[in-house]
Structures are given as structure tokens and as C-alpha cells.
Amino acid sequence: MSDILSALNTNGSGLNISALAKDLASAEITPRKNIIERKMEGMDVSVSALGEARLKMQELQDSLGVITRDPMLQTKSSSAGLNAIVSDATKVSAGSESVNVVALAREQVLEFKGFPSETATVQGGTITIDFGVWTTDDPPVFYAGERPGFDMVVPEGGTLQDLAAQFDGIAGVTASIIDIGDGTFSLGILSDTGGQNGMRFTVNATGAAADFALSELDTTTDIATHQIRAASDAVLEYNGITVFRDTNNVDDLIDGVELELLDVTGTAATVTTSVDAEDIFARAEVFIAKVNETLEWLDDQTSRGVIEGTEPGALAGETSIEGIKNSIRSFLRSEIEGFGDGPSYLSNFGISMQRDGTLAMEEDELGNVILEKIIAEDPMSLAALFESQTTASNSSVTVAGRPPSDTDSGSYKFTRDPDTGDAYLGTTKLTSLFPGVGVTFYLAASGPMSGVSLTVPDGLDEFDVDYGRNFTSKLMERIDDALASENALSARETELQASLAESQEDLDDLDAKYATVETRYLAKFTAMEQMVTQLNSTGSYIQALLDAEQAAARG
């Protein structure tokens, strides 16, 4: 009440009734507002911390995604002219192959010269387009290939631009108009790569004369006049065997590997498929570091500050985060199934959980890192951590493809009726794609192993197919579950947001109540002030009468 003023009204109480009304209203409302605002501050901190926790777990998931993205078996080429890429990790196997790129696949390039402009008119008629091989004879001879020819009708009154668009609309053909720079234009036409994609144009000109005679496009007798480059196959020596392909992207020589032919290699290049020990060790280091970083952060945020000198974390008491943290640690102790004869654990790979709940690489009695020794002796055993695998118990069976990402580890028995040929993988009936020489190809089109195909030798009617889902991908799924909209973290975030909104409504109500209380006090004090003023006026009048009587008595 330090701001109560006096002498504001010499006839009244002398009180600042406006300030007094504000002070009394504030004294009634402010304590309750302070309680709500402190509560909201705490909820704001929790919402922010929960958001940061979500971000931390998303960062962990992203890091785990990186170390499981590429197959453990990596393919490398010893030549800059040849690039090797793993295209199907389920088919690739360790080893080395010799590949010599003798020649690249080329497209046929044709040029038709002498057009006066891009809008020059072209005589109408029909162009019969055939695809095949032009020989190197003199003169060259054309042999039609497997692709059937067809007639392209050139309309009367069309322009060079129209003609180029017609050619460009043909599958496997590219056409463009080139400004030569001497006042003339050329029509360039390219085929797909491959020797059998050479083109022959047979022209039947039927239209009226135009700027350009359609017969100039006929190549039946003078291909050499227009052919800048003939179409040709790529030529490779694969382990000493000469092979031909119509493309520079070859995916049918090395199982699971695509060869990108960039240039003639000159000598045989070595294409090696192997596990990079340093890469696998680095994946394990990232796994441990990112898991530890996340768990240590969660520990700090959920700390209750019971140790002297420590403060409670922003998420102390948040059961949703405690649940996630405990779930991750529990998973790190769980079995890894589907790899080998029995279950394994992180400890089987030299990774142990410490007393503080973090992961560490173990060392043997000589101080050597156990994981390094495991990678050196059996690098593919680390697939249990970083790469899911589908294998058959019979080595004569070829397994390709991969099941859905949420399929869990398990064993599925393949059975085939020798009389009907009907085959099952577990309880799922397989689709017979087509028979081969001594084998049959099957596809699982549904069920938990949907997407997996099997090449089964004739006479083999029973074996097991084992699927092992790697440990890291299962941890990623657990994090996915924690971040899902229907789980505890999202429910807690929703609850806090609702509480914040409710508290804000309470603040708004108190603000409105403050105005009401202030108005009520002001009305009361105003009435009081009127009474005091009236009493003061009456007192002044009486005092004046008394003063007058005393003066009269003295006179």
C-alpha cells in the first residue's frame, strides 16, 4: 500500500482510490496467477525437453540407418574405366572376377544436312523404319534384327521441327535440330546403344515439292553418307571369355553386381567383392557411440538430483522417457536369432554393457580388442548386427530377394509334393515361376517371407529357410515404436499441451476476474469517498456555525 496518496481531494478521504482498488485486486488475484505461471513454466520445460528427447532418438535412428544402409559385401573395381555396384545384396558373394572392357556399346548417329531453317517445310510421304545391324562391308549391308519395323507417316506441309518431334517420339530414338553455323541446319537422329539398334530408313515420297525432299532421308543405298557412327555392342572379356552386350550397364555377368562401363580398360580389371574390415569396425564404433550418447543424455535428463551437488534433470519423473530408456537397455541385452545354430548376444561380438548402462568393446587378457579378432576371422558373422540374411539349409538352393522390413527372425520349412509339384514355405503356398534345367523357380508372393524367391533343384523336396533380422534394424524398430503417435511419449506430449492450454485459459479467466474485482473495489471506494466528502462538507458547515457563534459571543 506504499502508493496510497493523501491530499488528493481536500474534501474527501485523501486516498488514491484508483491505486487502492488496483492493489487490492492484485493482492487477491496475483498469488493464484503466480502459481499457475510457475506450473506452466515447468510444463514448458517438460515439453521442450520431451521434444529434445524425440530429436535425440531420431538422431540415433538416423545414425543406425546409415550403418545398415549398405551391404557388408562391397564390390570394387581396379580400373577407372569400370565401375562396380552391388545391385542385389541377397545374390552377391565374396570373390574376384576379371573383366576387360574391349569396347563400349554405342548408339547409331545419323546426320541429315542442308535444311535452310528450323521451319523449313518437308515433303510428305512415308518413312519405313527398320532396326537391325549394318555390316562393315563396302557397301554396308543391313540385316533386320528382332525389333519389328514400322511406317512413320510424314504429313503434308510439316516442318523440320515437326519431323524432329516425330522421330523423337519413337521409343529408343532421340532426334534434335542442330544449327551448323553456316546458315544451314542438320537433323541429328540417335538410336539406343547396341549393334541391333541400327536404323534403316526407306522413303516413299508422295507429297508436293517442299523446301526439303523427303527422299534425302532414304538410307537404303547410302547409309555411309549420313552415318556419323554405327551402332555397336559392348565387348567384354569376362574371365577370358568374350561376351557382347547392347548396353554399358551390365547386370547379368556377376550375381548381384551391376557393371557400369565407362571406358575401354586396355587390360583386364579385377572386380573384387569382399567385406571391408575397417568399414565393419567403424560401423560397430558408430553403433556404440550413438547408443551411449543417447542413453547418457536420457540419464542426465531423468536424473532426480539425489547426489549432492547435482540438479534434477528437466525430465525427472517423466515415466514415458524412463520407459523408453529402460526399453532400449533391455533390448541391448536381448537375444539375436536367425544367425547360426543358436541365439547370440552383443557379448558374443565383444560388446558388453557396463555397470553404468553404457556399451563398450571388450579386450582379451592381452589387451586386444575382441571385435577386431572376430572381424578378421569371420567378418560375415557381423551380419547379425548390421545386415539381415535369408539362407537355406541346403547349399544347392539359391535364395534371392528379401522379406518385408518388419518380418521377424524365424525358420520356415520348404516342402514340395513330388507328385503335384505344389510347394510351401511354412504355411504359405509358393508360386512356381518357371522351370529351368534341373531346377524350379519359386516365389513367395504373400506371407511373412513375401518377396523371397528360391531356385530349387529337382528332387529336393524338403529343407529349411532361415531368416535372421539384424540387431540394429530391430533396435530401429523399437525406437520407431517409441516415437509412434499412439505410444507413451506422444501421449505425454499431448497431455502437457492440453494442460498448458487449460492453464492458459485459467490465466485468461483470472485476468478477466482481476478486471471485475478492480471494478468492484473501485465502486465501493467511490461510494465511500462520496460519503466521506459529504461528511466532511457537513463537518465544515457545523464548524463554520460554531465559529460564527463564538465570534458573536466575544463581540
Q: Per the domain annotation, does 237 fall within a domain?
A: no
The alpha carbon of residue 44 and the mean position of all alpha carbons in its chain are separated, in whole angstroms, by: 31
Check if the beta carbon of residue 45 is closer than 8 Å to that of residue 37.
no
Query: How confident is the model over 168-187, as pLDDT tens digits?
Result: 999 999 999 999 999 999 99
| Claim to verify: residue 130 and residue 225 sit in the same structural domain | yes
| Claim to verify: residue 118 and residue 130 sit in the same structural domain | yes
Spatial neighbors of 64 by CB under 8 A, at least 6 apart, are: 287, 290, 472, 473, 475, 476, 479
**Which pLDDT does position 261 carry in this prediction?**
96
| Residue-wise DSSP of 8-25 | S-TTS----HHHHHHHHH
- From residue 387, give the alpha-carbon distance in Å to each of 95, 338, 359, 380: 19, 12, 20, 9
Last residue of a domain, one of 205, 232, 259: 232
Rounded to whole angstroms, the Cα distance separating 311 from 316 reads: 10
Check if the beta carbon of residue 132 is closer than 8 Å to that of residue 159.
no
Query: How many domains are contained in the chain?
Result: 4
Check if the beta carbon of residue 3 is closer than 8 Å to that of residue 20.
no
> Quick check: helix, strand or coil at residue 235?
strand
One digit per residue, pLDDT tens: the chain, 555 residues? 333 434 444 555 556 767 776 666 667 667 776 776 676 666 666 677 777 888 888 999 999 999 998 889 889 999 999 999 988 777 788 899 999 999 999 999 999 999 999 999 999 999 999 999 999 888 899 999 999 999 999 999 899 999 999 999 999 999 999 999 999 999 999 999 999 999 999 999 999 999 999 999 999 988 999 999 999 999 999 999 999 999 999 999 998 899 999 999 999 999 999 999 999 999 999 999 999 999 999 988 888 776 655 677 778 877 888 888 899 999 999 999 888 777 899 999 999 999 989 999 999 988 899 999 999 999 989 999 999 988 899 989 988 888 998 888 889 999 999 999 899 999 999 999 877 789 999 999 999 999 999 999 999 999 999 999 999 999 998 888 887 766 766 666 666 677 667 777 766 776 777 677 667 767 776 777 667 667 767 766 677 777 777 777 776
**Which pLDDT does position 4 carry in this prediction?**
40
| Claim to verify: residue 172 and residue 196 sit in the same structural domain | yes
Q: Per the domain annotation, does 542 fall within a domain?
A: yes
415 phi/psi in degrees, rounded to 5: -135, 145
Question: Comparing C-alpha atoms, which of 68, 71, 78, 74 is closest to residue 100?
Answer: 78
| Domain extent at residue 377 | 277-386
Rounded to whole angstroms, the Cα distance separating 59 from 53 reads: 10
| Claim to verify: residue 340 and residue 426 sit in the same structural domain | no
Q: Per the domain annotation, does 224 fall within a domain?
A: yes
Q: Per the domain annotation, does 365 fall within a domain?
A: yes
Question: Comparing C-alpha atoms, which of 177, 180, 175, 176 is closest to residue 129?
Answer: 175
Rg (CA), the chain: 43
Count of residues in the chain: 555
Last residue of a domain, one of 232, 262, 290: 232
| Claim to verify: residue 502 and residue 530 sit in the same structural domain | yes
- From residue 310, give the alpha-carbon distance in Å to each of 300, 302, 305, 307, 325: 10, 12, 5, 6, 20
Rounded to whole angstroms, the Cα distance separating 468 from 340 reads: 9
Last residue of a domain, one of 468, 496, 514: 468
Buried b (16+ CB within 10 A) or exposed e, 243-273: bebbebebbebbbbbbbebeeebeebbebeb
The alpha carbon of residue 96 and the mean position of all alpha carbons in its chain are separated, in whole angstroms, by: 32
| Residue-wise DSSP of 401-430 | S---TTPPSEEEEEEE-TTT--EEETTEEP
| Claim to verify: residue 355 and residue 425 sit in the same structural domain | no
Check if the beta carbon of residue 464 is closer than 8 Å to that of residue 413.
yes
| Claim to verify: residue 350 and residue 405 sit in the same structural domain | no
Q: Per the domain annotation, does 9 fall within a domain?
A: no
Centre a 10 Å sphere on the Cβ of residue 57 and count the other Cβ atoms it contains. Answer: 22
**Which pLDDT does position 506 carry in this prediction?**
67
Check if the beta carbon of residue 463 is closer than 8 Å to that of residue 392.
yes
Check if the beta carbon of residue 382 is closer than 8 Å to that of residue 472.
no
Please give the single-letter amino acid code of residue 470: N
- Averaged pLDDT of the chain: 86
| Claim to verify: residue 373 and residue 285 sit in the same structural domain | yes
| Claim to verify: residue 374 and residue 395 sit in the same structural domain | no
Element spanning 108, H or E: strand 107-115
